[in-house]
Chains A and B, each alone.
Chain A
Amino acid sequence: MSFVTVDNVFQSYGTRPILERVSVEVKEGEFISIVGASGCGKSTFLRLLLAQETPSRGEIRVAGQPPAREPGLDRGVVFQKYSVFPHMTVRENVVAGESLRRPWGRFFGKEKVEARKRADETLARIGLDHVADAYPATLSGGMQQRLAIGQALAARPRILLLDEPFGALDPGTRLSMHDFLQDLRRDTGMTVFMVTHDLSEGFKLGDRVLVFDKPRWDPHDPNAYGATITYDFDARNGGIPYQTIEEDTHVLRPA
């Protein structure tokens, strides 16, 4: 049963096609890595999933709902930058994940106390409890992205979209963010789409790796054709899931 259905999606800006004939089905709980060269429509595809843009043809459905026309609660997102609110403290940012949907965008009275308690639990889980009252500008890049993910998850979205979330981090921080993301995923079983430049990151974290590329290429007019999904790898077990030996008996194991 497919959870996210992308059906024959085209997207063009003016006369310039960006994506063409993109179709993919994703099961609930899958982690999809999206890779491809620059300008191959990865981020456009993510914006379409986010419903920040509507495709010029085709449609995207999440959990069988009619195609969304604007971003909403069912989709959480973390961008490379600007994903947290700079004027709120770390704790307020997490509370905002639950409170912005309210008429005034905040909680009052008893609800507020409870929301702060839940936020503190979230902060403890993502390792930011010691900076709960600081402003995001005082945090390191990795802490800001952890906060952004925590904030997005506080809203309990159906799918989580990550647009090069670790692109601006140094390699060490990036590795610890991988562990952090894998832990979170084990706990929540969330469906995740992640755009990344880093192939090994895509294969390490993803269950599937979608490669975007242009199948047709006109050397005289490089922008004449759009990109589509050219490869759809099964990325479990380091990208070689079908070579895993599952039988126990009468099997000759390689030495």
Chain B
Amino acid sequence: MRWINRRPGAALAAFLALVPFALALAAYMIGSDMRLAVNPSDKLLPAPSSIVDTALRLFTEPDRRSGRILLWHDTLASLQRLALGVGISAGLATAFGLLIGLLPHVRATLAGFVGVLSMIPPLAVLPILFIVFGLGELSKVVLIVIGILPFLIRDLSQRVLEIPREMIVKAETLGASTSVIALRVALPQLMPRLLQAVRLSLGPAWLFLIAAEAIASDQGLGYRIFLVRRYLAMDVILTYVAWITLLAVIMDLALRALSRRAFRWTETAL
């Protein structure tokens, strides 16, 4: 039997999915053990037990100076920036995607421009953002928007163009105006695509968020990681990295569940 036709059973599939995680953890533990055996005060690869201790401390104990639990504080600040940046991008991308996808005049005007914009490396313009928008929240949100908006616009306008012409013509024969076609035909069919595109752009959004926080900020998950880097506090960094990963995974799963729940019509039964 060919390998392309062999499929793992449910139990084996679950086991295989766990294998890479277990291997990565084991590799880390072995490396950590080896380094700690040579130098018990080694900070580079702290033992898993000490990471757990640090994590418990970070999640529960307030900071001695400010009296706040910094991790929750950082999380709140970062998620707020991320939500603003992604939300604004999604809204703008929906509007521009519909306009570019439906109206040939707007497409002729903007499609090339957005294509060129999307080629600008967003981090290269970060200094400009700091100069123009200052070091506050605005420049960080703008960086996320600049980073993911061109991709979202290109993706969504393409999706609008992929709506079968027959469907648009049918709406025309039912007397729909351009705005009704946009609101009642194109927009509802675009929404599942929007969630899909947002899921894909969450990775870059985190990247730009942490980059902006690392360079100029006084709170946030990225800020904390780059702050404690100076003290080689690997246990804190690893805890934050794991926490960010967990948040990203939860967001991804939540968006997928939302997409399934809200757009039942995309599922083909029978």
Seen from chain A, the residues whose Cβ lies within 8 Å of a Cβ on chain B are: 50, 52, 70-73, 75-77, 79, 81-88, 96-97, 100-106, 135-138, 140, 148, 151-152, 155, 157
**Docked pose: A87 CA to B177 CA in angstroms:** 19
Q: Report the interface size for chain B: residues with CB under 8 A from the other chain.
A: 26
Q: Which residues of B contact A81 (CB under 8 A)?
A: 164, 166
Complex-state Cα separation, A151 to B216, whole angstroms: 58
Known A86-B189, A87-B265: A79·B166 in contact at CB below 8 Å: yes
Residue of B nearest to A154 (CB): B174
Tell me the complex Cα distance, A151–B171, Å: 10
A165 to chain B, nearest CB (A): 12
**Is B180 part of the binding interface, using a Cβ–Cβ cutoff of 8 Å?**
yes
Q: Say whether B255 faces chain A, with CB atoms less than 8 Å apart.
A: no
Query: Is B183 in contact with A72, judged by CB distance below 8 angstroms?
Result: no
Q: Which of B162-202 contact A (CB under 8 A)?
A: 164, 166-167, 169-177, 180, 183-185, 188-189
Closest 7 CB pairs of A and B: A101-B175, A105-B180, A105-B184, A100-B176, A82-B164, A71-B172, A82-B166
B169 neighbours in A (Cβ, 8 Å): 50, 52, 71, 77, 79
Question: Is the pair B188, A87 in contact by a Cβ cutoff of 8 Å?
Answer: yes
Interface residues, chain B, CB within 8 Å of chain A?
164, 166-167, 169-177, 180, 183-185, 188-189, 263-270
A76-B184 in contact (CB<8A): no
In the complex, A221→B268 CA distance in Å?
45
Cβ-closest chain B residue relative to A76 = B173
Asked if residues A157 and B264 are in contact (CB atoms below 8 Å), the reply is: no
Shortest C-beta distance, B124 to chain A (Å), equals 40
Cβ-neighbour of A135 out of B166, B167, B265 (below 8 A)? B265
> Would you call A105 and B176 a contact (CB within 8 A)?
yes
Q: Say yes or no: B269 contacts A155, CB within 8 Å.
A: no
Q: A50-B173, A82-B167, A135-B265 are in contact. Are A100 and B184 (CB under 8 A)?
A: yes
